[in-house]
Amino acid sequence: MSSTNFKLVFRVDFFHSYYQDDHFRGLNFKASGGTNQLMSRYNFKIIVTATGFDFYANTQQSLKDFLNYINQATEVDHFHFTVTTIDTVFYSFTDLPIDWNGQIQYESNSIMNDNELKGTMGDDVTTEGFASLKIYFDDIVAATGENNIGPKYKVVFNARKTQWRYYVINRSNINLENVKVVDQNSEIKFEAIGESTIPNGEKALMFSSGNTFLPLSEVSKYKFDLVLPKGDRILSKQIIFSGLPSPNASNLMVDKVNNENIVISPMYVYA
C-alpha cells in the first residue's frame, strides 16, 4: 500500500489438506452490512491474498486507540465476514458430517494452538457461505504487539477420508481369478470382497480398502495396480491395469457397515 498510515488489523489464512499445497483456494470474503459500513466510514481495506485475506486500517492512531474510538462512537465491537468458495463439492471432500451443509462459525475469542480459530457447526442450512467469521476488537487489541501489527489467525480444514472400493468389470473375458489390487509401496491392503452388481446392472469384482480410510485429495497421493500374481509371490506378477483411477470427490456413496454409516468412494475399472 502506498500510504504509511495503513496498519494490519488482522490476517486470516485458510488451509485445507485436500489441496496439493494445503492452501484453500477459490475463496471469497464478504463483509456483513455492519462491517461494510465501518469499512466505508473509517476507511478499512480488505486485501485478498493467496491464502486468505488481510484487513487494514488507515489511521495514524494505534490500533488500540482507533478501535476503542470506533467502539465508543458506534457501539460495534467486532468485524464480521462470510466466506464462500467457488468449489461446489467443498462439503463432499471436507471432513464434515455427510449430508450436512450448514455454516461453520469462527470467532476470535475461541482459538486453539498457533492462533487457529476453533469452528462451531451451525444447525441451520445456509446459502450465505460455508463459514462465518467474527473478529472482536478486544481480541485484536490483546494480540497486537509493540510494533502495532494485529494478530494473524488461521482456519484449517481436513480432507474427508473414505473407504475406497474398486469395481472391476471384465469386458475382455480375460481370466481375473486371483487378481489383486496392490499398492506399489505395499503399505495399503485391499480386500477381495467378491462379485457385486454395479448400478448399471453389470457384474463386477469388488475390492475394498476395508478399515483403512484414505483421504480425498486434489492430486492423488496413492498409486494402485490391478495385478495377477504368479504363484504365491506378489513380487512376481502380471500387471492387468497399471495406475487405477483415484476417487472423484463429487461421486460418493453412503453404506451401512456393522450398523454404522460410512462414506464410500466407488471407482469402476473396465478390464
The label of the residue with cell 486434489 reads 218
- Written as nine digits, the cell of 9 is 488489523
Q: What is the pLDDT of residue 19?
A: 95
Query: Per-residue pLDDT tens for 38-67?
Result: 999 999 999 999 999 999 999 999 999 999
Q: What is the pLDDT of residue 175?
A: 82
CA distances from 242 to 9, 135, 185, 194, 271 (A): 52, 50, 14, 21, 11
- Written as nine digits, the cell of 115 is 492462533
Query: Per-residue pLDDT tens for 174-210?
Result: 888 889 999 877 689 899 999 999 999 999 999 999 9
Q: What is the pLDDT of residue 142?
A: 96
Query: Per-residue pLDDT tens for 12-46?
Result: 999 999 999 999 989 999 999 999 999 999 999 99
- Taking the mean position of all CA atoms in its chain, how far away is CA 207? 27
Domain ranges of the chain: 6-157, 161-270
Q: What is the pLDDT of residue 103?
A: 92
Picking from 179, 156, 153, 152, the residue whose alpha carbon sits closest to that of residue 168 is: 179
Q: Are 155 and 134 in contact (CB under 8 A)?
A: no
Query: Per-residue pLDDT tens for 229-244?
Result: 876 555 557 888 999 9
Q: What is the pLDDT of residue 187?
A: 81
φ, ψ dihedrals at 85, nearest 5° = -130, 145
CA distances from 217 to 25, 111, 132, 158, 236 (A): 14, 27, 25, 10, 31
Going by pLDDT thresholds of 50, 70 and 90, the confidence category of residue 172 is: confident
Q: What is the pLDDT of residue 256?
A: 87
Picking from 190, 187, 183, 188, the residue whose alpha carbon sits closest to that of residue 237 is: 183
> What is the distance between the alpha carbons of residues 140 and 132, in angstroms, rounded to a whole number?
17
Q: Are 94 and 157 in contact (CB under 8 A)?
A: yes
DSSP letter, residue 160: P
> What is the distance between the alpha carbons of residues 162 and 246, in angstroms, rounded to a whole number?
12
Q: What is the pLDDT of residue 234?
A: 52
Give the pairing of strands 78-85 and 131-136.
antiparallel
CA distances from 182 to 7, 45, 236, 244 (A): 55, 53, 12, 10
Query: Per-residue pLDDT tens for 128-167?
Result: 789 999 999 999 999 998 889 999 999 999 999 999 999 9
> What is the distance between the alpha carbons of residues 176 and 191, in angstroms, rounded to a whole number?
15
Q: CB 42: neighbour CB atoms within 10 A?
A: 16
Going by pLDDT thresholds of 50, 70 and 90, the confidence category of residue 3 is: low
Instruction: Reply yes or no on whether the pLDDT at 228 is more than 90.
Output: no
Contacts of 117 (CB under 8 A, 6+ apart): 12, 106, 107, 108, 110, 111, 133, 153, 154, 155
Q: What is the pLDDT of residue 235?
A: 55
